[in-house]
Structure 1
Amino acid sequence: MKIAIVGPAFPYKGGGAHHTTELAHRLAAAGHDVVIESWRAQYPSFLYPGQQTISEPEGEPFPGTRRRLDWRRPDGWWRTGRALRSHDLVVLAVLSPVQVPSYLGILGGLGRRTRAVALCHNVLPHERKPYDRPLMKALLRRVGGVLVHTEQQAALARQLTDRPVRAAEMPAHLPTPRVETDRPEGVRRRLLFFGIVRPYKGLDVLLRALAAGPEDVSLTVAGEFWGGLEETRALIAELGLTDRVELRPGYVPAADVPALFAAADALVLPYRSATASQNVWMAYEHGVPVIATRVGGFADQVRDGVDGLICEPDDPGSLADALKRFYAPGEPERLRSGVRPVDHEPVWAAYLEALTGPFTQSS
């Protein structure tokens, strides 16, 4: 099958770029003729406050990557779609409703004969704006099918379109293979919050739980702040956590990730809401248990009491209780011993089948 994936790839960073690239590699390995149509300018900077690109690839770039799309050139959107008319399948990787105008332009050039699938990382953003829903509705009604990563997201997509919607678990697309890092023996009494800091990820909830939890436990916060850095510092001071919280604002290169996980007893995911996340798989690749809230797919990824703990979302008391349970004598070691890297090959096989197979109304 001749397949084009439209989405971010190196030099763009982050989970979306990793997913697009890994998906292309997997499809090519399965025998398909694959190209990535990526961007030379994806978003205006005011819509993406974080660092957009990196200078060194984090993983193996896909050789069949073209970078012709530009948010400032609508004429290029239509031309790209017209150039893809000979393909059997065009996959639109949807990370944000901001992409919708360009994708509608591509679909306009593509015409009706080429099958197009919207691969939605999130059907709607966690933090929504008034234009998000109408934009996504316009896109999802123009494609031949929609692929999402949870049944909850599938139900949301079906509210916006009568096109076939299919759910498939998102497989791992980690930036680097597992790296063995020397880890000091014993319990570190340190937790890790990792990734972009946005309100829905609940860092404030974690800070309040930390203040109410074991008094000798510290926290490292490593990732880009999309606003709220000064407010976070003020909350840390207000809670008396200045000596216990280390802030490392800014993008974390893949080369620095192993040491962060080696220094932590657990990764904490205090999200208020979630769809699919790679952070659980990343923690397990590094042998680290996970403390997560009962949102999105976390309760399916984390085996409560085996390789991590599950608590309630947006509830500092529930999270504080989880921290106390985690640091009960012998528990950090026991939960760490339960962590196993996951075999993602079957998940990838099912994912590729879901994406490339025919979409029907019963999907």
Structure 2
Amino acid sequence: MRITLVGPAYPYKGGGARHTTELAHRLAERGHEVVVESWRAQYPSVLYPGRQTIDVPEGELFPDTRDDLAWYRPDGWWRVGRRAGRFSDLTVLAVFSPVQVPPYLGVLAGVGRGGRTVALCHNVLPHEPGPADATLMRALLRRVDGVLAHSPDQAHLARGLVQGTDTRVGTAEMPPHLPETIGPAPTRPDGVLHHLLFFGIVRPYKGVDVLLRAFAQGAPPTVRLTIAGEFWSGSAELRSLAAALGVADRVDFRAGYVPATELSALFAGADAVVLPYRSATATQNVWLAHAHGVPVIATRAGTLPDHVRHGVDGLLCEPDDTADLARALDAFYAEGEALRLRGGVRRVDPDPYWDAYVAALTATAPPTG
């Protein structure tokens, strides 16, 4: 099958670009002829604070990748779609935000009705939706032949938006697509380090405020916490909260994107990664922590409880529940528990996940003829 993937690739950073590129490689390995249509300007800077690109690739690049899409060039949207329509049996749109809907509608106009189209929804609706988001996503999803969501809850949202149409909705768990530059971890001191880590983009749905309150209540006073990642709206509010809770001297804020080359050292200094999400669709951070031999304390949100084996390689608690997270932090530092959970950590095998994912994608809107 000839497939066009429309989505971010290097020099864009983070999991979205890695996912698009890894998906292209996996499809090509299975005999499909694949082209990636990426972006030269994906979002206006006013809508995406911080740097959007990186200087060093975090994995093997896909050779047949173009970067002709720009949010400010509607003529380019149509040209990319026209090229995909002439080449492809299947065009796949990687959807991360309703902001992408106008460009993607332009791409679909160029594709026309010659080939099949799938919206691959990393989020059907944002975790913190705006007033126009459902309207925009409804317009996009009702225009494609198929939608692939990453969890049953997200598939349910998609079915509500396409109700009354012939659009097919499928579900497949997000497969591992970790940075390839992890490398061997630095030498880690023996024993318990008394150090916890939150890693990832800091947004309200991630529950970092809940973590700070739970840390003040449940973590032993010898334990430190590092919050590492890009702060969507700045770190001032969380820094003030840490000060008000009396834990500012035990919390380190490492603001900014953490490149793959620095991940090993970051994880080597942690007893556990804490993921206090209020809501979640899919995240790589459990698998990323486990790839570095680090257990995870997470909420029962989205797919997190599918990846953390409670009492084996981590602990689970209820989302948006300060007391329950404080209990989990206290339990983690019970005598011998941190090292026992560390001994249960195993690195994920990505191949079975990718086998299921590729099968689900190609079945969501199979080509006609």
TM above 0.5 = yes
Is 2:189 the counterpart of 1:189? no
Q: 1:358 to 1:96 in 2, by over 3 A?
A: closer
2:56 and 2:352 map into 1 onto residues whose CA distance is: 30
1:339 to 323, 345, 353: 345
* Matched ranges for 1:68-217 at <5 A: 68-85=68-85, 86-162=87-163, 163-176=167-180, 178-181=182-185, 182-213=187-218, 214-217=220-223
2:161 and 2:114 map into 1 onto residues whose CA distance is: 23
Tell me what 1:11 maps to: 11
Tell me what 2:24 maps to: 24
Structure 2: which 5+ residue stretches go unaligned? none
Structure 1: which 5+ residue stretches go unaligned? none
Letter in 2 for 1:196: I
The DSSP-based 3-state class of the residue aligned with 1:320 is helix
1:179–1:286 CA contact under 8 A, matched in 2: no
The DSSP-based 3-state class of the residue aligned with 2:248 is coil
List structure 1 segments (4+ residues) > 3 angstroms apart after TM superposition: none
- Displacement of 1:179 in angstroms is 2.2
The DSSP-based 3-state class of the residue aligned with 2:196 is strand
- Displacement of 1:350 in angstroms is 0.7
* Matched ranges for 1:144-293 at <5 A: 144-162=145-163, 163-176=167-180, 178-181=182-185, 182-213=187-218, 214-293=220-299
The DSSP-based 3-state class of the residue aligned with 2:46 is helix
- Displacement of 1:177 in angstroms is 5.1
Moved more, 19-28 or 178-187: 178-187
Moved more, 63-72 or 171-180: 171-180
Number of residue pairs matched by the alignment: 360
Letter in 2 for 1:143: V
1:74 and 1:273 map into 2 onto residues whose CA distance is: 34
* Aligned-pair identity (%): 66
The DSSP-based 3-state class of the residue aligned with 1:273 is coil
Query: Which deviations, in whole Å up to 9, do the C-alpha atoms of 1:292-334 show, x marking residues without a partner?
Result: 0011001111111111000011111110000011110000011
1:326 and 1:300 map into 2 onto residues whose CA distance is: 19
**TM-score, normalised relative to structure 1:** 0.97
The DSSP-based 3-state class of the residue aligned with 2:249 is coil
Tell me what 1:317 maps to: 323
1:290 and 1:180 map into 2 onto residues whose CA distance is: 20
Instruction: State the superposition RMSD in angstroms.
Output: 1.0
1:271 and 1:228 map into 2 onto residues whose CA distance is: 18
Letter in 2 for 1:138: A
Letter in 2 for 1:352: V
1:72 and 1:178 map into 2 onto residues whose CA distance is: 35
Query: Which deviations, in whole Å up to 9, do the C-alpha atoms of 1:277-296 show, x marking residues without a partner?
Result: 00001011111000000110
**TM-score, normalised relative to structure 2:** 0.96
2:170 and 2:282 map into 1 onto residues whose CA distance is: 15
1:50 and 1:2 map into 2 onto residues whose CA distance is: 35
